[in-house]
Structure 1
């Protein structure tokens, strides 16, 4: 695993999870991810990307939610775990993400090549 892969795993381990509102996909808009995160996701066609963007959705959003939930990018994992990316339905983990971990996720995203998912 390369250094970015190790950083991703460490950050993932520190982002709390929580139960979402069933059927809600409010956080599933287009996002960016690092090249390492993209390598972990299924490749989608240009047509699939364009169709998702027309709906302002993530290309990995399926009829029953995220089709890549276990490998979703860091920014997706962060959604709902911090007041700065609050869930519009009020869902949240029992304990919000540590502010330093949130800063590290944003630092990682700023300092790695990001591509549109």
Structure 2
């Protein structure tokens, strides 16, 4: 069910519920307790999705803060594309999509590629 949001699932559920109510047997009506349980689960799912989004933003803010602390410091980094290790002074922090990037002596380096941090001259 990857990619399906609680909002999309709720819409599908209410469409199904509408059809079920329109075609219910008047002698054996649809169980309301089941509806309440389903609605409770959708509410919980929406709450969890909201928390996940908030946590993602909080994590990104923490990474930006960590990146700002690198500015002016000497960093070592590993470049997975070449397999080489580089070193230089971090001068900028920015985002590309959802990834935090650091500008190290003119080269863009992912925050997760940094292997060592030192004060300049250390």
TM-score by shorter chain over 0.5:
no
Report which of the two structures shows the higher radius of gyration computed on alpha carbons: 2
TM-score by length of 1: 0.26
Q: Which gives a bigger RCO, structure 1 or 2 (Cα 8 Å, sep 6+)?
A: 1
TM-score by length of 2: 0.26
- More strand by proportion, 1 or 2? 2
